[in-house]
Structure 1
Amino acid sequence: MSPAYALCALFALAPLACAVELKPVSVYRSGYAAGTEIVSVQASSLRVVVSNSEQGQVDVLALDPAAGLQRLARHRLLDPGVGEITSVAFHPSADVFAVAVRDSDGQKNGRVEFRAAADGELLKRVVIGVWPDSLAFSPNGDFVVVANEGEGYVRAGQGFRSAEGSISLIDLRQGLAQARHSLIALPDLAGVEGATQDADKRLLEREIDGVELKVPFGTSPEHIEPEYVAFSPDGKRAYVSLQENNAMAVVDVLQGKLDKVFGLGVVRHAADLVEDGQYAPRAELIALREPDGISVSPDGRYLLTADEGDTDPKASKTKAGFPVGGGRTVSVFDAMSGTLLGDTGSQLDDMAAAAGVYPDARSPNKGSEPEGVVAFDAFGRHLAVASLERADALALIDLTEPSQPRVLQVLGAGAGAGTGKLAPEGLAHVEHEGRHFLISALEKSGNVALFELVE
């Protein structure tokens, strides 16, 4: 009996719900000690671009279904200590990738660099907002949207200040040479139902003058930190997670403006909140979702969030009556209305424990910590895969019933899973001749893992 079927039997899932599973294929060993964060795949060529934030480099890989991932090129884009590559995305069809680069000064504007995949040549540089994080191409390559997190804080008298978070829209319809940038400002989120409010008493852990400090934050644009970008399949809308604010921004791409912002509410489910060497979900977790990665289903109907969490205080130190940060879930929303349909409850941690990779040391904090998520259709099924950063694992989720997403499998991302030495971060899916592959960047090992979904 395969591990996936064994877990299905353990949790008494219907046979049909367990007819697919993830299997490891290979690991690309980059030679880096760490820092491999974001992956993006070009389906038409089966090329993969991988960023390394610590080295200021990007690797271009070939995905060979028979031989795994093999390096085609390595491009040094930044000298050490001069800014940071925060994200990378492959153009859907051209020999071009885009990288988001934050300035060494966290109060200054960042940039997007468009480069040739073959030789790394700089083709175009576009100045954008402050401290960019995620970026993505629209499905046809006409637009790029960037989440400008504005995360850097500096002292201001007795307090602190930060640049405003924003969203950048780059219009490429006239070609790279004529790329046009517009900055989309974000509104104050006071009164947005389901979003973090001042009364929630949340704190941010930020490095200021080389010291980690707890910083209070509120609802103003200065305190909004856009995190991750995902497009609708038709390219007309871009969704941007506002992680610390527990909200989602929706951009009308063709109109070049913010359409709306909606709050993401709280989760309630059983959880293990005590570090004691065992998995015992005896407490009720009440938590703001605070998603990092997001994804839109191929039919455009559903928006998925990986509810990682990023605010303090931690679960073990939160006062009664206040929510903690991080839902430990993958949630499903109606993509048009923003209505919550369902979430995975305690299943991610339950299945991680059953697979032997649950990180008990993280119980008082954010558990397995879902980082990224990608939705796709395969074998006539609506599915998703989430990366569980602290469990060093991937979770396979069935979305047949969006109001009740079911975790089918949790699989370690490689040797040492569950030790905290892999940390799957970026995640991508690609289909080739009826075969489905998942690619995950392992931030702490510096490697990239390849999996195949099989029936």
Structure 2
Amino acid sequence: MLRIPTLCALCALAPLASALELNALDVYHSGFAAGTEILSVQASSMRVIVSNSAEGLVDILQLDPARGLSRIARHELVAEGAGEITSVAFHPSKDLFAVCVRASDGQKNGRVEFRSAADGALLKTLEVGVWPDSLAFSPTGDFVVVANEGEGYVRKGAGFHSAEGSISLIDLRGGVAQAKHSLIALPDLAGVAGATQAEHQRLLEREVDGEELKIPLGTGPEHIEPEYVVFNTDGSRAYITLQENNAIAVIDVLQGRLEKVFGLGTVRHAADTVADGTYDPSGTLFALREPDALAVSADGRYLVTADEGDTDPKIAKTKAGLPSGGGRTVSVFDAISGKLLGDTGSQLDDKAAQAGVYPDQRSPSKGSEPEGVVSFDAFGKRLAVATLERADALALLDLDQPGKPNVLQVLGADQGAGSGDLAPEGLAHVEHDGRHYLITALEKSGNVALFELLE
């Protein structure tokens, strides 16, 4: 059992308890052992769509405040060998959803399918870039932006080759049948302040011909891996994390162009860096943020990142003076300038330890591993919720002071929290009749967990 000798010291430093808290309501059991990964909620109908990458299908659930989550449809979309579902999104108002499907050959273009939510019927297929990994509808449903990660590597002479990462913009203003696709290329990131550079000596862990290899990360387009997409509140811009590259790309949606890329810099804070069965944040973490998901605050002023990390080497093997990968933080940036305002420091792991779910075996790597994040206003406060993949938990944050984000609570996502057997990943927030719900897909257990924010 994890011992926490520093708990009293942590409590003494913690801010006064907030009246807000997350409360577990329900768990939907898909019937599969794993694979529930990405979800999206349609506020107007209170329907939730969740993808199962392992099974090639999506489930559509009804969120009933009185009854929790229940399945109303299951659509089998991708046959074995025909690719893999990587992301899914509900249209904000129509009976329509979109899915990303990457090709079985990781060097070939993937596709986006638009389908009827009622019966799963295929309405339109568009070829996009290589290895599409995330997509989102704009708030009005007029556009879809896709992050084409281009993650797959093959051998090329004595080295390796990967397809270029890119961003797809799909214009739906003429309707799904007339949807138009354009591909937005990404530039070399050499010299972009705060982004990963060659001198950081970062490596990618990638499978090539069935073998796990460490591949040097460069700054050119073939080394850029777009990860997650979110729109701003009026739909004029889309923000895309470039996780391994420690940066965010900004797309001017109406102009159909890349506006800019800004780097995210490093964190330096207290951390537990030794797997010894004890939570002891007496070490120092110096790391690139490398966020997975990001969110935009309800007023559109701030970007909020879940700083998971995804490059090697890990802490113990990182050369002195160089950063490791993964901030273990939630960070807040100005949405216009890209300026860092603040981050959570060691709070996520501190609160996970207090809640009894800190994954000590991950101390030399990425700790609790923040992965998904949403931001919203509720009960007169600016808030965020993040999934902690390795702690099997959710974290509630107060963002009223963007320069000092405050972790209010860490709560286990289901039975077995802290074991690493749940892996909450996709996360969505929806408000209904003044009540605020959080829904998360538990990738390793095959389930979906429902929470309510209480005052």
Scaled to the shorter chain, the TM-score interval is over 0.9
Aligned to 1:47: 47
Q: After TM superposition, list the pairs within 5 Å mapping 1:415-454 onto structure 2.
A: 415-454=415-454
Between the aligned partners of 1:198 and 1:352, the Cα distance in structure 2 is: 34
Q: How far did residue 411 of structure 1 move?
A: 0.1
Computed over aligned residues only, the root mean square deviation of the Cα atoms, in angstroms, reads 1.3
Between the aligned partners of 1:171 and 1:11, the Cα distance in structure 2 is: 53
Amino acid at match of 2:220: S
Q: How far did residue 12 of structure 1 move?
A: 5.9
Q: Is the 8 A contact 1:40 1:49 kept in 2?
A: yes
Do structure 1's residue 413 and structure 2's residue 413 form an aligned pair?
yes
Q: After TM superposition, list the pairs within 5 Å mapping 1:15-94 onto structure 2.
A: 15=16, 18-94=18-94
Q: How far did residue 10 of structure 1 move?
A: 3.2
Q: Is the 8 A contact 1:54 1:80 kept in 2?
A: no
Amino acid at match of 2:318: T
Q: Is the 8 A contact 1:306 1:370 kept in 2?
A: yes
- The C-alpha deviation readout for 1:23-73, integer Å capped at 9, x for no partner, is 000000000110100010000000000000000000000000010000000
Aligned to 2:3: none
Q: How far did residue 13 of structure 1 move?
A: 5.2
Amino acid at match of 1:50: V
- The C-alpha deviation readout for 1:281-337, integer Å capped at 9, x for no partner, is 111111000000000001000000000000000012111010000000000000000
Q: Is the 8 A contact 1:194 1:264 kept in 2?
A: yes
Aligned to 1:376: 376
Q: How far did residue 19 of structure 1 move?
A: 1.2
- The C-alpha deviation readout for 1:90-127, integer Å capped at 9, x for no partner, is 00000000000000000000000000011000011010
Do structure 1's residue 251 and structure 2's residue 214 form an aligned pair?
no
Do structure 1's residue 174 and structure 2's residue 139 form an aligned pair?
no
Q: After TM superposition, list the pairs within 5 Å mapping 1:249-288 onto structure 2.
A: 249-288=249-288
Q: After TM superposition, list the pairs within 5 Å mapping 1:194-233 onto structure 2.
A: 194-233=194-233
Amino acid at match of 2:52: N
Aligned to 1:137: 137
Aligned to 2:101: 101
Aligned to 1:117: 117
Indicate the percent of aligned positions where both proteins have the same amino acid.
75
Between the aligned partners of 1:333 and 1:14, the Cα distance in structure 2 is: 23
**Mind listing any 5+ residue stretches in structure 1 that lack a counterpart?**
1-5
Between the aligned partners of 1:13 and 1:132, the Cα distance in structure 2 is: 41
Q: After TM superposition, list the pairs within 5 Å mapping 1:287-302 onto structure 2.
A: 287-302=287-302
Aligned to 2:4: none
Aligned to 2:387: 387
Between the aligned partners of 1:254 and 1:363, the Cα distance in structure 2 is: 44
Amino acid at match of 1:121: A
Q: How far did residue 185 of structure 1 move?
A: 0.2
Amino acid at match of 1:111: R
Between the aligned partners of 1:383 and 1:316, the Cα distance in structure 2 is: 34
- The C-alpha deviation readout for 1:162-200, integer Å capped at 9, x for no partner, is 000000000000100110000000000000000000111
Q: How far did residue 81 of structure 1 move?
A: 3.0
Q: After TM superposition, list the pairs within 5 Å mapping 1:300-315 onto structure 2.
A: 300-315=300-315
Q: How many residues align?
A: 449
Q: How far did residue 268 of structure 1 move?
A: 0.6
Aligned to 1:10: 11
Aligned to 2:348: 348
Between the aligned partners of 1:334 and 1:288, the Cα distance in structure 2 is: 18
Between the aligned partners of 1:287 and 1:154, the Cα distance in structure 2 is: 28
Q: How far did residue 408 of structure 1 move?
A: 0.2
Between the aligned partners of 1:13 and 1:34, the Cα distance in structure 2 is: 36
Q: How far did residue 365 of structure 1 move?
A: 0.4
**Mind listing any 5+ residue stretches in structure 2 that lack a counterpart?**
1-6
Amino acid at match of 1:359: P
Aligned to 2:321: 321
Between the aligned partners of 1:199 and 1:385, the Cα distance in structure 2 is: 34
Which 4+ residue blocks in structure 1 deviate beyond 6 angstroms? none
- 1:365–1:13 CA distance, 2 compared to 1 (3 A): closer
Between the aligned partners of 1:96 and 1:419, the Cα distance in structure 2 is: 36
Between the aligned partners of 1:110 and 1:72, the Cα distance in structure 2 is: 28
SS of match in other structure, 1:18:
coil
Do structure 1's residue 186 and structure 2's residue 186 form an aligned pair?
yes
Between the aligned partners of 1:298 and 1:182, the Cα distance in structure 2 is: 28
Aligned to 1:403: 403
